[in-house]
Structure 1
Amino acid sequence: MRRTLLFLLIFSQSVFAKPAGEELRKHLQPAVFSVTMVMIHDVVNPPAASRFYTYCLLGAHEIVARNNKQIIAPTNFTKSINPVAIGTKDYDYRIAALYCILETGRIIIPSGYMLEEDQKKLIIALLREGHSQATIDKSIAVAQEVAKKVAADASTDGYLKLSTRLRYRPKKGDAYWYPTPPGYIEGVEPHWKTIRPVLIDSCGQFVPKRPVEFSKDSSSAFYKLAKEVYEVGKNLTEQQRFIASYWDCNPFAINTSGHMNIGFKKISPGGHWMNITGIASSKAKLDLDKGIMVHSLVAATLMDAFISCWDEKYRSNRVRPETVINRLFDPQWQPLLQTPPFPEYTSGHSVVSTAVAETLTFLLGDNFTFRDDTEVIFELPVRDFKSFRQASEEAAVSRLYGGIHFRDAIENGQEQGRAIGTFILEKLKKAGVKPAI
């Protein structure tokens, strides 16, 4: 009888116990969100945020690929990181991958030390789940080894040289971007095009169509673009206001109260899409290995899309709607959203959202419905979307409703993002990457 009970116990444990990948996948989204929260604290600008996400995930992706032959290693399709010689044995690669996300962030993000608390919480959770201290220690050693190597590779991508470059000075002339109220902040990351891409060949590989030529002539195409932003802004519906606010994604918005300026920290466009990636991965019930792969590829797409977009922004250097409208139509007019501190063309959210939507559609499928709760912490409700492309289209048009972009910057930005996404997917497919579901 005792033997029968022992057999049944062992049988039930082997049949009903969750595989390691399923047991640990619940820690992935919190780990990425911890990185997001540190970047919100540091007010990391959108292009830089995409870079931090990318390196935090690439190391974890590499660890997983070394141990799961179904996952294609990043070193097979990018030169951003190099292979790491892992000396430790008998470690749990999934624990190592999770810890590596936090460890890489700890090293490369300015206030990365804040992630040490999240590392401690992860260790406590792992011990409670039955993982031995010895296995955890070995896994942490691997994570630290890989994170250190990834950080070293990241230091060669041009980021550390940005502060040594000439300070940006706005061009003179009505056609060019100039700092806008209320902060009159100088141009963000004017030299971002010098950052080494992850998947595309160069910053100038996807130069978009030329923007409509600036003109004050009331019969010109540009004047009509400006008039559209002005008229839309004056006649916004409640739904349009909500959509604009939902996709605001301004890392640092300044509100004025009398003579006092009050700053509000928010999530970046990349942070919003990384959270959507986590939501979608959980809904698809991806195991940890595939979940890390999907997050890594989305982050890399974000990074390259920002590099391409910022290359164009400081090439065309186009003036923002707020400046034009105040000069030509109404000196008191203000956009619903605060005008970002960099040139207008092309629309960043349009470029990166469209590119990422293509990557997610390939990995998780078209018509993938999801509930987005990203903005709940900013007191906005949960939203339902029918597909990643639908969400990206809404993110793009939100810039018109918000009064911060002309229509051609949005539509040509979407075209630019689609071209980037298509190129990236062809490269990934050639390397052997397959859909996650």
Structure 2
Amino acid sequence: MMRSVYLYILALLVPIAARALPQQPLEKHLQTAIRATSIVMIHDVVNPPAASRFYAYSLRGAYALVAAHNESIISPDRLGTHLEPLQIPKVGDYNYQVAALFCILKTAEILLPSGYMLEEDQAQLKSLLMKEGLKESDLQKALEVADQVAKQVVAQAASDNYSKLSAMRRYRPLKGDAYWYPTPPGYMEGVEPNWNIITPIFLDSCSQFVPAEPVPYSSREDSPFYKMTMEVYEAVNGLTEEQKLIASFWDCNPFAINTSGHMMIGFKKISPGGHWMGITGIAVSKANLNLDEGILAHTLVSFALMDAFISCWDEKYRSNRVRPETVINRLIDKRWQPLLQTPPFPEYTSGHSVISTAAAEVLSFLLGDSFHFTDDTEVMFDLPVRTFTSFRSAANEAAISRLYGGIHYRDAIEIGQQQGRMVGQYIVNRLKRAGLRPFDVSTP
């Protein structure tokens, strides 16, 4: 039943993507493959940092395939990442673009807990390609290559320390009012307290861009911390309808719990990284990028998201700061609730601020500082579209949305943006040194 619901949502989205894409042979299938991966992550309730990792590795092999066949696509081996080169099968013996599309799905199929759900998406893609004129023999060759490359990517992913997480010590709340403690209604334990052991893509280490220390905790009414807490309290109590809409649009909580009496109902949504992958797809379509360029854009954004989450999570469990909801209930109003459900991990820095800003820096480099676009990523969750004049303006809105939602203090937002900007600009500088140039696009 659940699988049919997800497929129905995907079926509604595919025609929209197809109309927005240029009428070229394979471009329309890229967004379908990435959305299918997102749907499985929603099903599995993949947490935000883990989702960024799955996107990065799912696209890794596809990027290597197109770069090996298209001289205009810079090789991933020139970017200076921590990733080892992949062995790409002999050029010219197969349709590399078809192989790249299936490599995305096959890699995700292996990596994701419910990756088997992607078998049906692969079957649908095979059928569509055959109807579009692809010979069965050519399809089989491409599938074999996709399988070979996907297995290499999965083997590479196994060396980034992810497999060690399950055996590591889980989060244990520290004594003291200044430290994070699980929040209602689910009182869920801290998400990925050891994520800083994951090997980054570009960054030298998880602590390469350690942000400034947060404003120190204090219950004194004249203290900077108390004043920041009051700002959150008053902001939520006085929200305009537009601010409520902004907060909901950028909520991106993979698993929110609603209570009704003694019953709790869970609602699944796309992750913050998934939202930015959606924005990337929208931009790729509007810029009329070809398949190879689209794969490059998605991969670089996914790499930036993964590194930004690693940097952010390193700080979250170092400062381990208490959330506004806990402090407000303790010191100001014991019945107060934020507009959005408080996420289950420490407050500082704001994850949305860090990862949105980093992604926006990469997209601004690739497509320009004034790229106008309409974001319909949240339509599937019954939220209206929002239009932005640039990627940075979207990132700014994503950041301030966390204050409107009542789940972050202002310093976590603003310093989080600084942290994300440092990560993003570092990656962009690496891309420039490798010889990557922005796409040649013009937007109205």
- TM category, shorter: over 0.9
2:37 maps to which residue? 35
RMSD: 1.1
* 1:151 alignment partner AA: V
* Moved >4 Å (runs of 4+): none
Q: Give 1:23 shift.
A: 1.4
1:14 maps to which residue? none
Matched ranges for 1:227-266 at <5 A: 227-266=230-269
**C-alpha distance in structure 2 between counterparts of 1:199 and 1:74, whole Å:** 11
Unaligned regions of 5+ residues in structure 2, if any? 1-21
1:69 maps to which residue? 71
Q: Give 1:22 shift.
A: 2.9
**C-alpha distance in structure 2 between counterparts of 1:273 and 1:259, whole Å:** 36
CA contact (8 A) 2:68 2:91 kept: no
Is 1:162 matched with 2:165?
yes
* 1:410 alignment partner AA: I
Q: Which secondary structure does the structure 2 equivalent of 1:190 belong to?
A: coil
Q: Give 1:170 shift.
A: 1.1
TM-score by length of 1: 0.94
**C-alpha distance in structure 1 between counterparts of 2:23 and 2:45, whole Å:** 33
Larger radius of gyration: 1
Q: Deviations over 1:188-215 (max 9, x none)?
A: 0000000000011110000001100111
Is 1:313 matched with 2:316?
yes
TM-score by length of 2: 0.93
1:110 maps to which residue? 113
1:432 maps to which residue? 435
Q: Give 1:166 shift.
A: 1.2
Matching residue within 139, 146, 149 for 2:149:
146
**C-alpha distance in structure 2 between counterparts of 1:196 and 1:189, whole Å:** 14
Is 1:408 matched with 2:411?
yes
Q: Which secondary structure does the structure 1 equivalent of 2:374 belong to?
A: strand
Q: Which secondary structure does the structure 2 equivalent of 1:104 belong to?
A: helix
Q: Which secondary structure does the structure 2 equivalent of 1:302 belong to?
A: helix
Q: Give 1:80 shift.
A: 2.3
- Which stretch has the larger CA shift, 308-317 or 85-94? 85-94
Q: Give 1:99 shift.
A: 0.6
**C-alpha distance in structure 1 between counterparts of 2:333 and 2:71, whole Å:** 61
1:373 maps to which residue? 376
**C-alpha distance in structure 1 between counterparts of 2:163 and 2:55, whole Å:** 17
Q: Give 1:73 shift.
A: 1.8
Unaligned regions of 5+ residues in structure 1, if any? 1-19
2:136 maps to which residue? 133
CA contact (8 A) 1:21 1:94 kept: no
**C-alpha distance in structure 2 between counterparts of 1:75 and 1:113, whole Å:** 30
Q: Deviations over 1:245-304 (max 9, x none)?
A: 000000000000000000000000000000110011001000000000000000000000
Q: Which secondary structure does the structure 2 equivalent of 1:393 belong to?
A: helix
Is 1:183 matched with 2:181?
no
Matched ranges for 1:276-315 at <5 A: 276-315=279-318
Q: Give 1:87 shift.
A: 5.1
**C-alpha distance in structure 2 between counterparts of 1:146 and 1:223, whole Å:** 53
1:267 maps to which residue? 270
CA contact (8 A) 1:89 1:138 kept: no
Q: Which secondary structure does the structure 2 equivalent of 1:31 belong to?
A: helix
Matching residue within 327, 343, 346 for 2:346:
343
Q: Deviations over 1:45-87 (max 9, x none)?
A: 0000000000011110000000011111222222224221425
Equivalenced residues, count: 418
CA contact (8 A) 2:69 2:91 kept: no
Is 1:358 matched with 2:366?
no
CA contact (8 A) 1:369 1:384 kept: yes
Identical aligned residues as a percent = 64
